[in-house]
Every structure is written in C-alpha cells, then in structure tokens.
C-alpha cells in the first residue's frame, strides 16, 4: 500500500476523490434523501462538469439509481487525508441517519462545501479505482475517459420498460 501518490504526482497535481457510499439502503423510504443530495437535474457537478455521484450497496436491483450513473456494489474501502497524499476519502453512511433533519442538512452542507473546491471530485468507487489504475493529473482530468460524463437529465426514463395496455 504505502503513502506515495500513484503516478508520482505531487499533492497539488492530484485530485482529492471523495467517495460517498450508502449501505443496505435503496428503497422508496430513502430515495428522497438521495434525490436531495444528488439532484435529478444534474445541477451538482464536479470540476470536470460531470454530475457528482455515489455508490449504493444493495442486495437487489434498483435500476433508477444505476441509470442515473450511481453505482451498485458490495462492501469495503478505506481513507486518508486531503493535506497529505490525497488518498480517496470514503464517507460511508446508512440512510436511516438522515431521518434526523439535522444530519441531512449537515451532509448537504458538506457536499456544498466540497463543490467549492476545484480539486475535489465526488465520485464512485469504480471511478476512483480507475484513477488509481491510471493516475492522471488534475490538469488532464477533463480528458480522462473513465471520468467523462455519460449522464443526461432524466436518463432513468430510458431504462424503464413501458408496457401499453
């Protein structure tokens, strides 16, 4: 493992990746939390212009989240510090934590703060691992294929099968 930044880049050349994940939490009871923090209109974007994203660990298939560019996965990850080697910072949550409005607003404030930083990307586990496998400096991230935008507003509509009766 070690503390060296992949690719030999300096801290200043390295994006700080923030990976927000939710455990066992994808149902009608908590989708409003996700839509609040990760708006359907794609209005919250990373410095490369792509919408921020999360990873949801589930035990079944929720196509709306996946169609919107969210990742469906299974457990495990670690984190380090923004001021050292910029190892990915992992925020692991359970959606029940948002049942207290204070917590939801605190998470919203945290995301809003991250969006003011031009070297921080809120992304999925898979996109983070792609960067680790293919380190790319901040100045070239807009051309980094694994992080290019493939999102369009209301994309989940394309994943829904409408049956006429």
Model confidence pLDDT, tens digit, residues 110-155: 999 999 999 999 999 899 999 999 999 999 999 999 999 875 555 5
d(CA 37, CA 161): 26
Q: Yes or no: say if 71 and 126 are a contact pair by the CB < 8 Å rule.
A: yes
Is 5's pLDDT higher than 80? yes
Residue 76 DSSP symbol: -
Nearest residue to 53 (alpha-carbon basis) of 159, 149, 162, 165: 149
Mean pLDDT, rounded, for 67-90: 65
Return the pLDDT at 139.
Answer: 93
Distance spanning both ends of the chain, measured CA to CA: 57
Note the pLDDT tens digit of each residue in 55-78. 877 655 555 666 666 665 544 434
Return the pLDDT at 58.
Answer: 64
Q: Tokens 């934590």 correspond to what residue?
A: 97
Return the pLDDT at 52.
Answer: 93
Percentage, residues of the chain above pLDDT 70 = 73
The pair of structure tokens assigned to 10 is 């300096």
d(CA 38, CA 54): 8
Return the pLDDT at 70.
Answer: 64
Q: Yes or no: say if 92 and 98 are a contact pair by the CB < 8 Å rule.
A: no
Burial classification of residue 160, based on how many CB atoms lie within 10 Å of its CB (0-12 exposed, 13-18 middle, 19 or more buried): exposed
Q: Yes or no: say if 32 and 2 are a contact pair by the CB < 8 Å rule.
A: no
Q: Tokens 């980094």 correspond to what residue?
A: 144
Radius of gyration of the chain (CA): 16
Return the pLDDT at 160.
Answer: 46
Note the pLDDT tens digit of each residue in 19-32. 988 876 566 777 88
Grade residue 17 by pLDDT with cuts at 50, 70 and 90: very high
């Amino acid at each position: 493992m070690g503390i060296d930044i992949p690719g030999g880049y300096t801290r200043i050349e390295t994006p700080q990746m923030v990976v927000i994940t939710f455990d066992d939490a994808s149902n009608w009871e908590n989708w409003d939390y996700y839509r609040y923090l990760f708006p359907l209109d794609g209005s919250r974007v990373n410095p490369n212009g792509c919408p921020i994203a999360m990873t949801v660990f589930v035990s079944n298939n929720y196509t709306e989240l996946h169609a919107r560019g969210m990742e469906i996965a299974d457990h495990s990850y670690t984190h380090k510090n923004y001021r050292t080697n910029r190892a990915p910072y992992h925020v692991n949550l359970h959606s029940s934590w948002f049942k207290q409005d204070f917590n939801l607003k605190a998470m919203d404030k945290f995301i809003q703060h991250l969006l003011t930083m031009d070297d921080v990307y809120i992304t999925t586990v898979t996109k983070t691992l792609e960067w680790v496998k293919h380190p790319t400096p901040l100045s070239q991230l807009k051309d980094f294929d694994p992080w290019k935008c493939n999102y369009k507003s209301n994309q989940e509509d394309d994943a829904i099968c409408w049956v006429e009766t």
